[in-house]
Structure 1
Amino acid sequence: MRKKSVFRSEEMALCQLFLQSDTAYSCVAALGEIGLVQFRDLNSEINAFQRKFVDEIRRCEEMERKLNYLEKEIKKDSIPIYDKDENPKAPLPRQMVDLEATFEKLENELREVNKNAEALERSFLELTEIKHILHKTQIFFDEAEGFKPRQKIAKRDKQTLTSRGDENVTLLGDEAFKTEGQAIKLGFVAGVVLRERLSGFERMLWRVCHGNVLLRQAEIVNPLQDPSSGDKVFKNVFILFFQGDRLKSRVKKICEGFHATLYPCPESPTDRREMAMGVITRIEDLNTVMKQTQNHRHRVLVAVAKNIKNWSIKVRKIKAIYHTLNFFNLDVTQKCLIGECWVPVGDLEEIQSTLKQTTDQSGSNVPGILNQIETQEKPPTYNPTNKFTHGFQVLIDSYGVALYREINPNPYTIITFPFLFGVMFGDIGHGLIMVLFASWMVIYEKKIAKRKSLGEIAKIFFGGRYVILLMGLFSCHAGLIYNDIFSKSINIFGSYWKPNYTASEISTLLRNNKEIQLNPSTAYFWQYPYPFGIDPIWQVSRNKIYVHNSFKMKLSIIFGVAHMLFGLSLSFINFRFFKKKINIIFEFIPQILFFCVLFLYMVVLMFIKWIKYKATDDANEVAVSPRCAPYILITFINMMLFKDDGRVKAVECTESFYKGQYSIQIVFIAISVCCIPILLLGIPIYKTIQLRKLKKLKAKQLNDNDINNVENAVNGHEDGVEDEEKNYDPEHLPIGELFIHQTIHTIEFILGTISHTASYLRLWALSLAHAQLSEVLWTMVISKTIRTMGYAFFFIFGAWALLTISILVVMEGLSAFLHTLRLHWVEFQSKFYIGGGVLFRPLDFKKLIEESSDSDVKRKEPKKVLDK
């Protein structure tokens, strides 16, 4: 395995690939397994439906449809799909026929089983409804028969009926209706209707039949399964009594309109009992058949579940291969496929070896031919990554893909990104929470990666697990420097401050409610500072925020200037690599001088102040005492205004940091002013002069070699190296646009150095805000309740932990992450990074399968929500 480049993208080559028609499929399949070749579409002008392998792609899509149907049936029965974590090779074209036959057989078998199961379920539903109808109607009839004796109504007189209030009586045995001594024959129908339609069904019967129909209904307690949809539905049994064929016709039409199912019901009780016994027997037989059908379906789906994952991978590989073969051109003899592809130069040997090995396995005597060809096109950008560097590379590519062979910020971002995040987020406790969470994802990354049910947010966190891990570690590092853990300090070495008061003086000060002050001139133990970080005594000091403000503000400026200076240095590496001497002279040198004489000088003044001025207030050293130290911000402003420090000082104090400061600052301002016209006019004037020389040479009809040399000089080329940003036409060079572009670039840099330096103050602001929020949460939730709540402190601690994780770790961490991302995208990468390249997208089966799996999950998730 060759050593991959990490500092800039891989060198790419455009190659022409010749493959025999018989071995083209196998060669493309082998190249897809190694994932190092990006094929170009040579048939972009041809319609997708007119290409050579469109029929094979349609066959693959049909196989995908069948596999989706099988997968749907498997999930319907809640059968787990076995993932053997295998990567099967792409089947040969002749094996594609076997796969099609297998899928066709399984689909037909399942559809036949489903059709039979649906028919059985429909018959089972009908028999179940008939059983309930026979049972409920028998209850209706029994209730009515218990209402009067079974004798004919002619044997009882009308007076007796009237005394009982039975003027309208239904005789169930004879279905006769007695009114004023006359017996009337009644008809009836029985059936079932959905429970939610019953009220409308009853109202419609009343309105259409004018109250001449008697409705009796009862609920079916247990829900019934609809064979079509598989949903559980609730139904009611009803029986309707009416007189005459006209009412019968109306009743049936109403039942049909409300999708009520009517079933035959015998008039005789004996016939009903016999029919009920037959229905129960048929239901038992159907249960046996349905169980056997379900068992057969289950066995088929279990066998499919063991192989469907591998089948899906094979079909996707086949489809990708034929889709790639459509990029090739056929030669005149129709025996060879010709294609073009981008490949990394360092991997040419591996690709050629793969082609040779594949053709040998196929039994062909003519191996695939890979020829490197010259081109003026811009190659794609290929930055190899691993699971550790991938997360950082994604952050960079989100801003813009690097130009071909442009320096890659990834190796530097791996350190600077979590470091600046830690400066803003510095807390040992909160950083440790992030470390534990990221460590869990790193340790169990194989198990988590296999889960297909991860949500979008969970995938983002998992993809950036190493980024989160480093951010947590650097947060712990910054927390150690700040001596901050959940807004508290750790007293590791013991405070190096000691009181400079006697016991009697301390008691007097406390009795008079006066503050005790520690004088740095006499309070330091052994006159040494705290070994590492900030002394824990500052945690209980009332002026803690002022000290931390000054410390973190200066620190943010120092880190910001160093970060931007490093970005400018990387631009020099870019110019040198592309051999752009003109850009180094007229762009890099003025920029670095302008930046150093102003902002790096301000950082140097900070270190001079820290070194020169002491914390003691010795009468013999008044000039280096704290009250004589000049303000850096005032000094910088006066430097820009050509003024001395106008602050009133004691007689013993010096007015500057060092001798000759005013003169040196005037020189620095002069240098910075001189850099502006060089940045503004240097490159345009140089290219204008070179253009005039070119025109004179053409006028004198010099030889082509001299003209080519001048053309290279005009366009910023040295030694024939091509400019990757833009190829200017020497005869029609847009000088006006060049001046406008350079003016915008100069204004952006000059104003950007000021705004970008101020932008790094967010390191100070967010660090201070995070520390204050942590302290407020501890004070309001823990400190005020620890002495009063007793056993309830357990719940108070739970609330504090919940708020800490949700607000201080998640929300504050996300805020610090976004600010860090902004500092890298705008303040750092803008100094050297153009980001106008095209990403290298090779034929890689591994990535193809991962992207397909993610798209399948996204496509099925909305359906789950709708189903719920």
Structure 2
Amino acid sequence: MGTLFRSRTMGLYQLFLQNESAYSSVSKLGELGLVQFRDINVSTSAFQRKFINQVRRCDEMERKLTYVEKEILKDEIRMEDVFVNPIAPMPKEMIDLETTFEKLENELKEVCSNSDALKKTHFELTELKNVLTQAHLFLSAQEVNHVDTMDSATLVGNEVSPDMPSQHGFVAGVILRERILVFEMMLWRVCRGNVFLRRADMDTVIEDPVTGEKLHKVVFVLFFQGDHLKSRVKKICDGFHATLYPCPETYDERENMLVGVKTRLEDLSHILNQTQDHRHRLLANAAKNIKSWLIKVRKIKAIYTTMNMFNQDVTRECLIAECWASTNDSAQVQQALREASEECGSHVPAIVNRMATSEQPPTYNLVNKFTVGFQNIVDAYGVASYEEVNPAPYTIITFPFLFAVMFGDAGHGLLMSLFAFWMVYKERQLMAQKSDNEIWNTMFGGRYIILLMGLFSIYTGLIYNDAFAKSLNIFHSQWDVSDVNITKGAITIQTYAEYSFPNTSVPYPFGIDPIWQSASNKILFLNSYKMKVSIIFGFSQMIFGVVLSLWNHVHFKKPLSIYLEFLPQIIFMSCIFGYLVILIFAKWVMYTWQQAYCAPSLLISLINMFLMKYADEDEYKKPEFCYLAPMYGGQQVLQTILVVVAFLCVPWMLVPKPIMIHLRNKRLSSSSSDDHDNKGLPDLFIDQAIHTIEFCLGSISHTASYLRLWALSLAHARKFL
């Protein structure tokens, strides 16, 4: 608990690393993860640092591996997972890795280039085959009866000129199916109906060799007269990205060409299959090591990037580094440096010196697999300053409990707990799978949070007597409903005095009496109960947060913050919300079930407290205004005092502290001391005003925000009614 209560004590260390052992030392320290290096070459640009060439080489290797990984994913080849964390290769192994990656990339690029060229040729031959096949059908009528006997419906625009000669030129090609209608319309408008169009859908869907997209295309043949129309037709085809193919005029020439195309397609398909098999084998072999290679290259890059933050001494025989490390881990750091020197055969060990500094160290909170999820939740809102109280240990209880307050279903909580327990029990196998599903990784990372939320939900569900929206009559109801009217299975408990009769004065032993599950005014009762509980929990948690700030003030020896911040904050919250919590408990204790219908309204009492407006005695003695009656004698005087004290706490927080700090700074300046804040009095007042306003308004808004526990609990219960 001591390591969780505050961040670990950090120290700034200076390391003197021999050139031959510097790489291995950084690698060892990186595997430990116990140090944070500082950049002591801030004035040096990135391009002037010593190891920039090695970083560039790593970038190039990473680029090659990323390209190979992309091709592996494209072919949907499974990459082997890395179950053992590989260590960073030594510098002399970089050349071997570069050679391997260069050879792999060149071979893969060559195969992909050949494959793309073959696919493009296969694509064009497939289109040509379809053009020649359809041309047999389109031109057969022309060879027998010329063009005169062609169906008039094939004329673009449905107009046939009686003076048109029997011989025409033609072009053949393919176009995307979604463009054919606009293509026809453009031909009719530009050529004025003097072009014949015959078209037919291709019998197969072909794949684009560049994008891999499935394309639906149409084969067409255009008949026209004269070179002028031919020029127009070709321009329109270019504009619509239609591909034109050569098509002989005679049947025999077309048939011979079609046979040749089919033969080439068969040979090309065989070669393409062999190329694809070679590509698949190449990628399959790379897939066995791609993840391991990526880890190694990124570790090498991280090491050289870190070494670029080091400085070199005047003798150029060692590197000087500065790093933050926990004082508790200094022995492990020195042991890692000794091992690195021994592995490299260096006769001069690394030197570690602790430096004195006034700079604020980074915050380092020690976590494990159980606490890391809660620590991440806290850090998402803001990382605590160095040696401040760490809220994460308390979040382990408060976060799942507050979730359970608004969830509050024992049945659903049981399902959640079983699911989380399964993830905890199988965590090693599930971690080994290394899924890429973001939603699953988020749930698995928070498995202990889900487990606690489920367990707490079982507890609050039993308190609410709610399991799958059903009540559990474990101890039998303490209400006598023998004389209560029951209509369609529902008990109407409109007022306690009229319809409900307790058996004894003993309340239900645990949780809410199951009779409320059948009551028509169940929601009204639970609303009041859960709203008050939410306010109690909210006030308790906020007060606890203020108490944690006291420990920070004591630890950092800030008496001004104790007397001029902590005390007025506690008094301010106690006078308003603490008093409201006391009224809640008082109302529960002072008013029996027979008096509940005329119990004072806490909301109206709180409003009247701030407005200092109270009902006359003659008014609240009326039955319809009995809820305006005071709860105890002298309530008006006490509430007035509390409001005045709460408002006095605002200037107490705002004015004295900046003045005291300003006077202290002037005194320290006169004594030539540098250990003080150089802010002027206006800046100090601005900072304190921001802090005061944030606290006063935040305490009100945060209390109101805790009502969402009640609202969400109501929504969860309401949807099952």
Query: TM-score band, normalised by the shorter chain?
Result: 0.7 to 0.9
Alpha-carbon spacing, 1:530–1:198, altered in 2? closer, same or farther (3 Å): closer
User: What is the 5 A alignment of 1:33-432?
Assistant: 33-129=31-127, 131-132=129-130, 134-139=132-137, 143=141, 191-196=172-177, 219-235=201-217, 260-263=243-246, 265=248, 267=250, 269=252, 276-432=258-414
Q: Tell me, which stretches of 5 or more residues in structure 1 are unaligned? A: 149-163, 168-178, 617-624, 699-703, 713-726, 779-868
Secondary structure in 2 matching 1:113 = helix
Distance 1:627 1:208, change over 3 A: closer
1: CA distance, partners of 2:31 / 2:582: 55
1:178-234 CA-to-partner distances (Å, cap 9, x unmatched) read x99xx99x7967653325466777788888889888776655422344444444445
- Residue 17 of structure 2 aligns with which residue? 19
CA apart distance, 1:744 = 5.0
Counterpart-to-counterpart distance in 2, 1:353 and 1:262 = 75
Query: SS in structure 1 opposite 2:92?
Result: helix
Classify 1:191/1:495 alpha carbon distance in 2 versus 1 (closer, same or farther; 3 Å).
same
- Judged with a 3 Å threshold, the aligned counterparts in structure 2 of structure 1 residues 142 and 4 are, in CA distance, closer, same or farther, namely farther
Corresponding position: 1:552 with 2:550: no
Equivalent residue letter for 1:569: V
Q: Aligned residue for 1:151?
A: none
Q: Does 1:735 align with 2:718?
A: no
Q: Retained in 1: the 8 A contact 2:492–2:521?
A: no
Structure 2: which amino acid aligns with 1:311? W
Partner Cα separation in structure 2 for residue 342 and residue 300 of structure 1? 45
C-alpha distance in structure 2 between counterparts of 1:478 and 1:769, whole Å: 16
Number of equivalences:
697
Aligned pairs (5 A) from 1:416-815:
416-436=398-418, 438-439=420-421, 442=424, 447=430, 450=433, 453-455=436-438, 460-499=442-481, 523-596=501-574, 599-608=577-586, 610-611=588-589, 614-615=592-593, 647=617, 678-687=652-661, 690=664, 698=670, 727-729=676-678, 734-743=680-689, 745-746=691-692, 748-749=694-695, 753=699, 756-771=702-717, 773-774=718-719, 777-778=720-721
The one-letter code of the counterpart of 1:403 is S
Given that residues 497 and 518 in structure 1 are in contact (C-alpha distance below 8 angstroms), is that contact kept between their aligned partners in structure 2? no
Query: Taking structure 1 as reference, are residues 644 and 209 closer, same or farther at Cα in structure 2, changes over 3 Å only?
Result: closer
Residues 268/537 of structure 1: CA separation in 2 closer, same or farther (3 Å cut): closer
Q: 1:438-469 CA distances to partner (integer Å, 9 max, x unpaired)?
A: 456555655378555424x6655554443343
Aligned to 2:157: none
Give the whole-Å Cα distance in 2 for the aligned partners of 1:681 and 1:238.
88
AA partner of residue 243 (structure 2): A
- CA offset digits 1:410-446 (Å, max 9, x no partner): 1111211222222233233443454455456555655
Hey, what's the Cα distance between the residues in 2 that align with 1:65 and 1:509?
75
Give the CA deviation at 1:763: 3.7
> Quick one: distance in 2 between partners of 1:398 and 1:734?
33
Structure 2 CA distance for partners of 1:692 and 1:351, relative to 1, 3 Å: closer
Instruction: Name the CA distance, whole Å, in 1 between partners of 2:541 and 2:598.
Output: 31
TM-score w.r.t. length of structure 1: 0.69
SS at match of 1:22: helix
Counterpart-to-counterpart distance in 2, 1:52 and 1:692: 47
Deviation string 1:314-369 (CA, Å, 9 cap, x unpaired) is 11111111111111112222221112111122111111111111121111112222
Q: Which amino acid is the alignment partner of residue 559 of structure 1?
A: F
What secondary structure is seen at the aligned counterpart in 1 of 2:173? strand
CA distance 1:752–1:272, shift in 2 (3 Å): closer
The whole-number CA distance in structure 2 between the counterparts of 1:516 and 1:165 is: 95
| Residues 312 and 638 (structure 1), Cα distance of their counterparts in 2 relative to 1, 3 Å cut | closer
Answer yes or no: is the 8 Å Cα contact 2:15–2:351 preserved in 1.
Answer: yes
* Partner Cα distance (2:612, 2:233) in 1: 105
Residues 1:758 and 1:117: Cα distance change in structure 2 (over 3 Å): closer
Matched residues in 2 for 1:347 and 1:680: separation?
Answer: 42
Shift of residue 599, structure 1, vs aligned partner: 4.3
| Superimposed CA distance per residue, residues 375-426 of structure 1 (whole angstroms, 9 cap, x where no aligned partner) | 1111111122233323322222222211111101111112112222222332
Contact 2:496–2:593 under 8 Å retained in 1? no
One-letter code aligned to 1:43: N
The DSSP-based 3-state class of the residue aligned with 1:372 is strand
Deviation by residue 1:273-303 (Cα, 9 ceiling, x = unmatched): 5555454444333333222222211111111
Please give the per-residue CA displacement for 1:762-781, whole angstroms capped at 9, x wherever unaligned: 4444434543x23xx43xxx
Structure 2 vs 1, CA of residues 752 and 235 (structure 1 numbering), >3 Å: closer, same or farther? closer
The answer to whether the 8 A contact 2:13-2:353 is kept is: yes
Offset from partner CA, 1:578-619 (integer Å, 9 cap, x none): 122332233323433454455445544544554566557xxx
Spell out, residue by residue over 1:469-521, the C-alpha distance to the aligned partner (whole angstroms, 9 max, x if none).
333332332221121234432111111222586xxxx79999xx998987699
Question: Which structure has the larger Rg?
Answer: 1
In 1, the alpha carbon distance for the partners of 2:640 and 2:124 equals 102
Moved more, 213-222 or 580-589: 213-222
Measured in 1, the distance between the counterparts of 2:607 and 2:215 equals 81
Identity of aligned residues (%): 51
Aligned CA distance change for structure 1 residues 685 and 247 (closer, same or farther; 3 Å): closer
* Whole-Å separation in 2 of the counterparts to 1:211 and 1:754: 80
State the alpha-carbon separation in 1 of the partners of residues 204 and 70 from structure 2.
Answer: 28
Give, in whole Å, the separation in 2 of the partners of 1:632 and 1:201: 77
Distance 2:481 2:77 in 1: 74
CA gap of 1:516–1:368, structure 2 versus 1, over 3 A, is closer
Offset, 1:135: 4.3
Provide closer, same or farther for how the CA distance between residues 444 and 514 of structure 1 changes in structure 2, counting only shifts above 3 A: closer
User: How far apart in 1 are the matches of 2:100 and 2:300?
Assistant: 16
Q: What's the Cα RMSD here? A: 4.6
Change (3 A) 1:364 1:130: same
Q: For the structure 1 residues 191 and 417, does the alpha-carbon distance in structure 2 shift closer, same or farther, using more than 3 Å as the test?
A: same
Measure how far apart 1:250 and its partner are: 8.0
Cα deviation for residue 758 of structure 1 reads 4.8
Distance 1:634 1:198 in 2: 75
SS at match of 1:13: strand
Aligned-partner residue type, residue 108 of structure 1: N
2:208, 2:214 within 8 Å by CA — same for their partners in 1? Answer: yes
Asked if 2 retains the 8 angstrom alpha-carbon contact of 1:190 and 1:265, the reply is no
Q: Which runs of 5+ in 2 are unaligned?
A: 151-161, 622-628
The answer on whether the counterparts of 2:123 and 2:206 sit within 8 Å (CA) in structure 1 is: yes
For residue 547 of structure 1, report the CA deviation from its aligned partner.
Answer: 3.9
What SS is found at the alignment partner of 2:342?
helix
SS in 2 for 1:23: helix
Counterparts of 1:693 and 1:424 in 2: how far apart (Å)? 53
